Structure 1
Amino acid sequence: MKKITARQRQMLWILLGVKEEITAAEIAGSTGVSVRTVHREMEDIEQLLGDFGLDLIRKSGKGIALSGSEDALAELRLFLREEKPAEYSGEDRKIYELCTLLEAEEPVKLFTLAHSLKVTVATISYDLDELEPWVRKFGLELVRRRGYGVEIAGLEADKRRAICRLAAEHLDLSDLVGHAPRSESNPVFRLLLTTVGKGRLMTVESILWDMEWKWTAELPEIVYMEMLLGLAVTTRRIEIGRGIEIGRGIKSGEDAGFSRVSDHLSIAGAEQFVKRLEAALGQEFARAEILYMAGLFDRVQESFSSSGIAYGDIELMEIVYRLTESVAKRTGLPFQRDRSLREGLLEHMDPALKRIREGTRIRNPLLGPIRKDYDYLFTIVRAAAQDIGLELTIPDEEIGFLVMHFGASTERLNQLKRSVRAILVCASGLSSSRLLATRLAKEMPQIEVLGNISWYEAARLPGTDYDLIISTIDLPIGKERYIKISPLLTGEEIEKLLSYIQNITLKNREPASPGESDQPVREEAAALDRLKSYKGILDEAVSLLERFRFHPLDNTGLSLSRTLAGMLELLNGSGVVGDADILLERLLERERMASQVIPDTGLALFHTRSSHVHMSSLTLYRLSQPVLLEGGTEVRVILLMLAPRRLSKESLEVLSEISALLLNSELVKLLEERTEPEIRRYLSSELLHFFENKM
């Protein structure tokens, strides 16, 4: 029997894991190759299947499936579990080496690694040379000495960060939370999943959900998943005796994540969480681990609450504005008018640029199909990304995600009346969910897309809230409860989806008795929700504009810190500010992180969100003399935007809209030169226009 490759093994496990046909595009997306490569591999796979008495069925318009007896399928599964792949890829070797070294209690001999991977010691040594820069990024050291072996030395907290990054670079959501067979097909991925604590990940997630913390429900899915992964890694490290000790990894509560600007809100919550975790897992957590988790919770809240819908991030808004303008000029399409596109790009690009700057590998399993179906748009977006001068190399994988945003904007149509209510679950976030939603609106108008939710919300959503779940990843729920397709919605997948709706969705939906239909009730509830949303936007806009104030400020001889302190002092008695010292630290910290200056102006936007802000506030200060910011830039005018940590979606939208308006030269001129009533009138007019467009 011919030796099979690791890729062929992976494809066979995918075919064994589905009950019906699966498209070549879906297999390509799961394995990270092109559709053409899938069809080429199927030729060799078909020959292998003949040895087991199995057939490979390929149906035009439906997909690919295995056909044969249960005994033959069981024999194939046994073969795949026992048969070793022909060779490990270079990437697989490096994952194996990192997992082994990060879990090892003592140095590992090069010969041991070479023997396990069936390569020479020289090959292992070359791999380690390539891994050394990656290891250093986490403050760790790759120690290699003749006769001693090799080990990764450093703080335990840094090793945990490295493991989480390794998972982010090589694992999909399906690997972590679904029933995907990739771990069975590849021993290296089994090792990686063990290293990140997959065996306990769903238990940890269930406890995290049961805590019913409001802030976790507000987190974007990618942030929630990163936090969950960090907690799962922590349980695995404690299980193998790699706990954090006071003085090693963290020196005190402050080093665990509680800096001076922290709100100190997470220790009590971490104690409650750990108590439940100990009962569920049957293991004890030291005090240092509670502080570590509290620091993790605190940093997640701080990083998320400071971004919101990217409100106030002028640098990011400028990038989105220039990218959109560039693509619009090249295509002739009015992308600038699409607020949904702008909001989607803002939410996507903030973490994307962070990953690129950190050197994190970006995975986009849909890159091949995207380049095929959107080749013209891909070329345009890549050229536009180069034009805006980010001084960063944007990989094609990231360009692919941006193309999905612009593709969704291109295909966006007015909503039609639908008869089947669908929920979307997309691993790649807004880019894939919006593209899939618009493709569905165009190709299958009978489907009403109710919204996009996370995998963990989908697992708990009552069946009465929807007719159909459409997912781009495997979900930790029964196969009969959802259908998996790609965001590109190929012709094969349209047929598959129609068949699913006709044969499963509509048959499972019980007909309502005459007079008992709940459609009017649902429509009334939806209408009420929209009215509440509109009211929230209006209330926030009106209260913010009514509180808007302009102050001239004499800052002669004052530093930036003392100037900001003077600005905050003028807010005393307004009911806006609690602890002004903490707010001052936050404003200075944000300025150190990124420029607050509006490009090509003498105006800066200083902003923060904190529990020490009691209500949203917008105030303008014109200084008697320029103040010097980080990077040597001088400004004479500062707009101060403050908001509470907990904010409604509607309030965030209003703040984000005001931030976006700062890219308008007319508003900048008003802020620099005109009176308070004139500025308020302009903002009122623009926010009214924003509100009218929401309706």
Structure 2
Amino acid sequence: MRKMTARQKQILILLLGRKNGMTAAEIAAEINVSVRTVHRELDEIEKILANFGLLLHRKSGTGISVWSNAAGSEEGKKLQEARRLLLVDKPSDYSGEERQLLLICRLLEEQEPCKLFTLANGLKVTVATISSDLDEVEPWARRFGLELVRRRGYGVELIGDEQGKRAALCQLAADHLDYSDLIGGSPVSQVSSATAKLLEVVGTHNLMTVENTLWAMNWNWTEHLSENAYTQLLIHLSVSVNRIHVGRFVGAVQGKPISTGAGGERDEGETSRFALRLADQLTLTFPPEEIAYMNGLFNRAKEASPELVQADLELVDTVYRLTENVVKRTGIPFQEDRLLRSGLLEHMGPAFKRIREGSRIRNPLLSAIRKDYEELFGIVREAMNDSAAGLEVPDEEIGFLVMHFGASIERLNQLGRNVRAILVCSSGLSSSKLLATRLAKEMPQIEVLGNVSWYEAKRLPESDYDLIISTIDLPLPEDRYVRLSPLLTEEDSEQLLAYVQHTTLRSRKPAPEPESAKTRAFDKVRSLSMALNEVVSLLDQFDVRVLNNRGDSLRGTVTAALEEMNQSFVPPSVSDVAAVTDRLLEREKMASQVIPGTSLALFHTRTRFVNYRSLALFRLEEPVLLDGGTKVGALLFMLAPRELSRESLEVLSEISALLLKPELVELLETGERPEIRNFLATELLVYFENL
């Protein structure tokens, strides 16, 4: 039989994992080669498959798939056998990244030192190659407080406390696994050995049991987590369960108790109740130290709920400049698209963090994006170069940004539709917006009701929708959803149309009664009323004061401002001034709060120590030095309680976006309260009219 190369194996893994096949462009984007290279490799793959009685079916414009010449159950058996024989990894096929991933997993599993020779022999490479890989692994491990010990005659060992090892495993999952790997239930035969090993050590086989147990607790705070925060919490819990299964427990480090996060003791009873339920499901026992650790995970997740401002002001400024630069090059009024602005902020924050940390950015759609949006790709690349000086943004990230701008271009007015669809897309990407606008353009008979998280999709009442469209595998039966590319290729359109005709329309529920439409209309009116009331209430209590802070530090200045704000509310707006001061200063250390090009700083937070949402401007008698070395002469405070209505959060977020307008900045620096309030009222009225 012909020898198969690593690239050919990659292509086969992709094709055997997609029931409906893939286009050459999609394959090229996934393995980062040209479409021409894919076609050349397919010629060889076709000959290899012939040895197994399999056919490579190629249909121009729609896709490529692997077929069997057998019928019925024999066809399935042939395909399964082919997967087993064709997709067995050989160590020589591993890339450097895969070797390092396997090395880290091995070292985190082992309790004793491993000999270099043993590691090299297992991966069929030289000792020198393993040593080079360990050089790459060492600084990465230090991020989690782990030390890579390498001594002649002793071997190699990764030492550190159990909490650090679990954090390292969770980071590996975040860097190398996507939602389909975690919750899609893909067979091991359809992923590489390195990915399969990571899934094993992370404990994803227990993830859905953990998720169902967590959901069954009916805690309000879990419903308010973002999809990414919810999934990361599940990964941490699954890693913990897997480590406990093999006898790795957390414990006190150097006599210090396990960190439980804010309010740990208050909630430990609820955590114990969860642990008992989970222990019963998995036949485990959670000692007190593990319950305390679990309680810390819950408290950190609670504290990670969305802030009032989606990102630090430097990032907001970058988004503003990027949008303006694309507008100049295209003439399209992108600045009027609030969905574009919020989408860019949501995506670019974590993406830029990964770029600065040197983490890998993976974009399987890059080749297809370049093909479909060739001119726009070049424009966004040039605009980003002008907008983010000093930051080297890779093409993979530019591709994601192009998806945002492409979705904005194609965003059309909603037409009359007769099939109700829910979208499920990867968090933090523009996939849902792009797919929604493509659907509006290509298949106007489908009404997109909105996008939901993967765990919401599995629990939505079937009467609430006719169709679930997902860009990832879901933990649902195959007849409950259809998986498509965010680019909605011709093949996808055909697949979707067939699904709607043969599955959706046949099992469709009766159309909602007119009263349901009236209810939705009333809900919309009520939401508009709440938003308008929020604007009036917030601006009515907006205050401008001069603060005597002479001789005070930054902490003293912030504390004094909060105490003055308390005088305006009965009861006080801040229940714990010291705690709120700590949160504000901690956030200021993490990211710049200075409004670019000004002597103003925005201090904002959302916490249980704030009783009322409030907006107040303090002009300082003496400039104060921030953590980054910048002096500011005025502080704008935007505070809100942890529990906050959607309308209130949207109004506060809109105000934060207005801070980049030169007219508002000038008023904040020199204007009087009525002038500032009237400007905000004018801008918020425009926002309200466009809701």
Q: Match for 2:500: what amino acid?
A: I
Say if 2:25 is the partner of 1:60. no
The residue number in structure 1 matching 2:535 is 541
The residue number in structure 2 matching 1:85 is 89
Q: Match for 1:88: what amino acid?
A: D
Say if 2:683 is the partner of 1:677. no
Range that drifts further, 392-401 or 615-624:
392-401
Question: Hey, what's the Cα distance between the residues in 1 that align with 2:6 and 2:529?
Answer: 56
Question: Hey, what's the Cα distance between the residues in 1 that align with 2:32 and 2:534?
Answer: 45
The residue number in structure 1 matching 2:690 is 693
> Alignment partner for residue 612 of structure 1, among 602, 609, 612?
609
Asked whether the equivalents of residues 16 and 83 of structure 2 are also in contact (C-alpha less than 8 Å), the reply is no
What is the number of equivalent residue pairs in this alignment?
Answer: 682
The residue number in structure 2 matching 1:297 is 298
The residue number in structure 1 matching 2:642 is 645
Asked whether the equivalents of residues 326 and 379 of structure 2 are also in contact (C-alpha less than 8 Å), the reply is yes
The residue number in structure 1 matching 2:564 is 570
Cα deviation code 1:290-331 (max 9, x no counterpart): 2222222222222334x25517x3222112111111111122
The residue number in structure 2 matching 1:71 is 74
The residue number in structure 2 matching 1:478 is 477
Cα deviation code 1:130-185 (max 9, x no counterpart): 22222223222221111211111122212112111212222221111113246545
Asked whether the equivalents of residues 308 and 652 of structure 2 are also in contact (C-alpha less than 8 Å), the reply is no
Shift of 1:271: 2.2
Q: Match for 2:268: what amino acid?
A: I
The residue number in structure 2 matching 1:518 is 512
Equivalence map 1:238-253=2 (5 Å): 238-247=244-253, 251-253=256-258
Question: Hey, what's the Cα distance between the residues in 2 that align with 1:348 and 1:693?
Answer: 23
Asked whether the equivalents of residues 132 and 142 of structure 1 are also in contact (C-alpha less than 8 Å), the reply is yes
Question: Hey, what's the Cα distance between the residues in 1 that align with 2:564 and 2:163?
Answer: 42
C-alpha change, 1:290 and 1:586, in structure 2 (3 Å) is same
Equivalence map 1:656-671=2 (5 Å): 656-671=653-668
Question: Hey, what's the Cα distance between the residues in 1 that align with 2:19 and 2:683?
Answer: 54
Shift of 1:28: 5.2
Bigger RCO (CA 8 Å, 6+ sep): 1
> Which residues of structure 1 form unaligned runs of 5+?
none
Question: Hey, what's the Cα distance between the residues in 2 that align with 1:34 and 1:205?
Answer: 40
Q: Match for 1:294: what amino acid?
A: N
Asked whether the equivalents of residues 83 and 189 of structure 2 are also in contact (C-alpha less than 8 Å), the reply is no
Shift of 1:622: 1.7
> Alignment partner for residue 212 of structure 2, among 206, 209, 212?
206
The residue number in structure 2 matching 1:236 is 242
The residue number in structure 2 matching 1:276 is 277
CA RMSD of aligned residues (A): 2.3
Asked whether the equivalents of residues 315 and 595 of structure 1 are also in contact (C-alpha less than 8 Å), the reply is yes
SS in 2 for 1:570: helix
Cα deviation code 1:39-64 (max 9, x no counterpart): 44332222222122222222334433
Say if 2:48 is the partner of 1:51. no
Question: Hey, what's the Cα distance between the residues in 1 that align with 2:63 and 2:341?
Answer: 36
Shift of 1:121: 2.2
Cα deviation code 1:170-218 (max 9, x no counterpart): 2221111113246545322221110110110111111122222222222
SS in 1 for 2:350: helix
Question: Hey, what's the Cα distance between the residues in 1 that align with 2:282 and 2:42?
Answer: 43
Q: Match for 2:4: what amino acid?
A: I
Shift of 1:30: 5.9
Question: Hey, what's the Cα distance between the residues in 2 that align with 1:165 and 1:357?
Answer: 16
Asked whether the equivalents of residues 107 and 148 of structure 1 are also in contact (C-alpha less than 8 Å), the reply is yes
Shift of 1:643: 0.4
Asked whether the equivalents of residues 147 and 158 of structure 2 are also in contact (C-alpha less than 8 Å), the reply is yes
Say if 2:152 is the partner of 1:142. no
Equivalence map 1:381-396=2 (5 Å): 381-396=380-395
Say if 2:105 is the partner of 1:99. yes
SS in 2 for 1:630: coil
Identity of aligned residues (%): 57
Shift of 1:471: 1.0
> Which residues of structure 2 form unaligned runs of 5+?
none
Question: Hey, what's the Cα distance between the residues in 1 that align with 2:420 and 2:29?
Answer: 26
Question: Hey, what's the Cα distance between the residues in 1 that align with 2:78 and 2:153?
Answer: 45
Question: Hey, what's the Cα distance between the residues in 1 that align with 2:357 and 2:305?
Answer: 18
Question: Hey, what's the Cα distance between the residues in 2 that align with 1:317 and 1:618?
Answer: 19
> Alignment partner for residue 581 of structure 1, among 560, 569, 578?
578
The residue number in structure 2 matching 1:178 is 184
SS in 1 for 2:665: helix
SS in 2 for 1:502: helix
SS in 2 for 1:508: coil
Range that drifts further, 495-504 or 175-184:
175-184
C-alpha change, 1:659 and 1:365, in structure 2 (3 Å) is same
The residue number in structure 2 matching 1:408 is 407
Q: Match for 1:528: what amino acid?
A: F
Shift of 1:22: 4.5
Q: Match for 1:494: what amino acid?
A: S
Q: Match for 2:420: what amino acid?
A: R
The residue number in structure 2 matching 1:422 is 421
Asked whether the equivalents of residues 4 and 85 of structure 1 are also in contact (C-alpha less than 8 Å), the reply is no
Cα deviation code 1:268-296 (max 9, x no counterpart): 43222212111111111222222222222
Say if 2:61 is the partner of 1:41. no
Question: Hey, what's the Cα distance between the residues in 2 that align with 1:126 and 1:565?
Answer: 51
Question: Hey, what's the Cα distance between the residues in 2 that align with 1:328 and 1:364?
Answer: 25
SS in 1 for 2:472: coil
Range that drifts further, 385-394 or 648-657:
385-394
Asked whether the equivalents of residues 105 and 198 of structure 2 are also in contact (C-alpha less than 8 Å), the reply is yes
Question: Hey, what's the Cα distance between the residues in 1 that align with 2:318 and 2:554?
Answer: 26
The residue number in structure 2 matching 1:499 is 498
Question: Hey, what's the Cα distance between the residues in 1 that align with 2:369 and 2:148?
Answer: 38
Question: Hey, what's the Cα distance between the residues in 2 that align with 1:670 and 1:593?
Answer: 28
Asked whether the equivalents of residues 140 and 155 of structure 1 are also in contact (C-alpha less than 8 Å), the reply is yes
Q: Match for 2:438: what amino acid?
A: R
Cα deviation code 1:67-94 (max 9, x no counterpart): 3323354244235325633532222222
Asked whether the equivalents of residues 204 and 277 of structure 1 are also in contact (C-alpha less than 8 Å), the reply is yes
Range that drifts further, 401-410 or 624-633:
624-633
SS in 2 for 1:614: coil
Question: Hey, what's the Cα distance between the residues in 2 that align with 1:134 and 1:315?
Answer: 27
Cα deviation code 1:511-563 (max 9, x no counterpart): x4xxxx42523422321232232122112212111211222222222222222
Shift of 1:607: 1.3
Cα deviation code 1:222-273 (max 9, x no counterpart): 222112111111111111122111126x9224x3434xxx686643432222
Range that drifts further, 628-637 or 3-12:
3-12
Asked whether the equivalents of residues 88 and 117 of structure 1 are also in contact (C-alpha less than 8 Å), the reply is no
Cα deviation code 1:622-661 (max 9, x no counterpart): 2222222222322222211110012122211101111111
Question: Hey, what's the Cα distance between the residues in 1 that align with 2:629 and 2:191?
Answer: 55
Q: Match for 2:323: what amino acid?
A: T
SS in 1 for 2:505: helix
C-alpha change, 1:220 and 1:144, in structure 2 (3 Å) is same
Question: Hey, what's the Cα distance between the residues in 2 that align with 1:381 and 1:105?
Answer: 49
Q: Match for 2:514: what amino acid?
A: P
Asked whether the equivalents of residues 161 and 253 of structure 2 are also in contact (C-alpha less than 8 Å), the reply is no
Question: Hey, what's the Cα distance between the residues in 2 that align with 1:519 and 1:580?
Answer: 52
Q: Match for 1:112: what amino acid?
A: T
